[in-house]
Chain A
Amino acid sequence: MPKRILKIIVLGNASVGKTSLMTQYVNRKFSIQYKATIGADFMSTEAVIDDDRITLHIWDTAGQERFQSLGASFYRGADACVLVYDITSARSLTSLDVWRDEFLVHTGGKEETFPFIVIGNKCDKEEERTVEKERAELWCKSKRGKPIEHFECSAKTGQNVHEAFLHVTKLALEQDTSDAQEVFIPEHIDVDHDTKPDQGGCGC
């Protein structure tokens, strides 16, 4: 059986802790980042699910709106998406709509079925909390399709981080199999599909 590689993309506003979550999951420790992410950051790790070894390629991007122009090449081939907000910032939760839309536009993923999870990070800062768990769960239920799974995590203490990434990996795997069944198209039709008319175009 070929080795499976899944591409997971982590999105959310600036300084909600995307890179720290990724580092905590991969290295099992909290490390202070040398700098804020510029462009994209990448980490790779392995997960074992039902005795299968899965290679995970996890990407995150600068959380600033301007960098969203880091488009197609970054999102291409994504298998799942982790949306991150900060429980001490209400705005970071409402921004998830934009991130999710942006993601779907770039990947062409189906809104109802594409694997997303939501992480509320920094739950070690309970005293600064401004986003109640219920409110985030409401957001998760408000989307089309199945409610999105929600995890409150702390990249600092490691709480729940492993569980969240494991869950998103499983979702991506399930999606992978259901997709394989769904998109069983005879080859000659595929070829037609590939000849897009919008090639060339003038560069002026």
Chain B
Amino acid sequence: MESPEIISSFMKVLEVPPSISDEEKKERLIQLKTLVLHHGIPDYTIKDSETPLRQIVWKCLLRTGNGDIQKYLSLVKRGKSSLHDKIKRDTDRTFKSNRVFEEKVPEDKLIRLLNAYVHYKEENDLPGASYVQGMNVVAAPLLFVLPEHDAFFAFVRIVTKHCPTYFMKNLEGVHAGAALVDIILETVDPELFEYLSKHKLIGEIWAFSRLMTFCASQPPLDEALKLWDFFFAFGEHLTVPAVVAQAIIVKKELLESAVPVQILSEQKTVEARQTIRITREIFRKLDQRQQSALALHMIDSDTMEKLLPSSLKKP
């Protein structure tokens, strides 16, 4: 049971009076983020509208407003996109074995959203990849929490505005993120870094899917959602230190294992609150240069390219 005080603090911040200055709006957003940081988002459904609190908070944080439902419908009307077959190959294996998810998000929703995205991209001539494997795992939690059209606009925002380098054709940004995982791990836990290096376990090998999906590739979904609360409040780039935190949490097992990659690929539940706590500690240990590379690598192609291993750099 969630504490009623916390819930009412959330409600107070979210109840926006009709006349509110921009200044005040900003102030409220900061209050909202602070609440998310300290308490996470309580598992609570607002009685009158039967809307889960997380849905409202995500819409605020992602600034989807009230997504243009007509726009989304017009994209859906266009039916299968050029990448429909590719999409279909992944949608029927998204969060499989999670019955709650499958009940709430039938495969069709996921197929519609991703096809609509391909249409949207073609229509607006946007740079970057159309559909790539892994986008299904990014869209799925959005559909789990938000109404379909809001999920669509949230998805577009994340993929094209928040983390465009991650969804370039060759996923360069993810590779840069993986390089940052190594840099950060070496800074905050040289012992673990050296041990993993000795086993040839660089970020690219073990952290790739976690990075690309903002940790949603690791079950259970409930814990991933709590991480997303934090990422949406303070930036998806915090996925990188969060992934490092997840490795540090299992450090003992890693050091004891002859095959440490096995520990990292096991889909073991890592508690979100603990991950967030350690993520913040890690962030504080980074110098300014590292912090800025972290903050920029998802949006700025120069920063991103400097991090790439030489084999992936443009000739």
Contact = CB atoms under 8 A, between A and B. Distances in A.
B135 to A, nearest CB: 10
Interface string B268-305: 00000000000000000000000000000000000000
B88 to A, nearest CB: 9
Contacts of B204: 39, 70, 73-74
Interface string A62-104: 1110110111111011000000000000000000000000000
B129 A35 contact: no
Contacts of A76: 200
B314 to A, nearest CB: 10
B219 A34 contact: yes
Contacts, number: 101
Contact of B96 (A14, A34, A37): A34
A137 interface: no
B97 interface: yes
A49 interface: no
Contact of A66 (B129, B261, B265): B129
Given A57-B259, A73-B200, A203-B313, A42 B170 contact: no
B97 A15 contact: no
Contacts of A64: 86, 132-133
B25 interface: no
Contacts of A15: 89-90, 93
A138 interface: no
B310 interface: yes
Nearest to A40: B205
Interface residues on A, range: 20 to 34
Given A38-B133, A41-B265, A43-B265, A69 B95 contact: no
A38 B97 contact: no
Given A34-B96, A66-B132, A42 B175 contact: no
Contacts of B169: 66
Nearest to B169: A66
A201 B312 contact: no
Interface in B68-107: 86, 89-90, 93-98
Interface in A1-38: 14-15, 32-38
A44 interface: yes
Nearest to B174: A39
Interface of B: 86, 89-90, 93-98, 129, 132-134, 136-137, 169-171, 174-175, 200, 202, 204-205, 208-209, 212-213, 217, 219, 259, 261-262, 264-265, 267, 306, 310-313
8 contacts: A34-B93, A34-B95, A34-B98, A36-B90, A36-B94, A39-B212, A64-B132, A201-B310
Given A38-B209, A44-B259, 15 more contacts: A14-B133, A15-B90, A34-B97, A34-B219, A35-B94, A35-B95, A36-B94, A42-B262, A63-B133, A64-B86, A64-B132, A64-B133, A66-B132, A76-B200, A77-B200
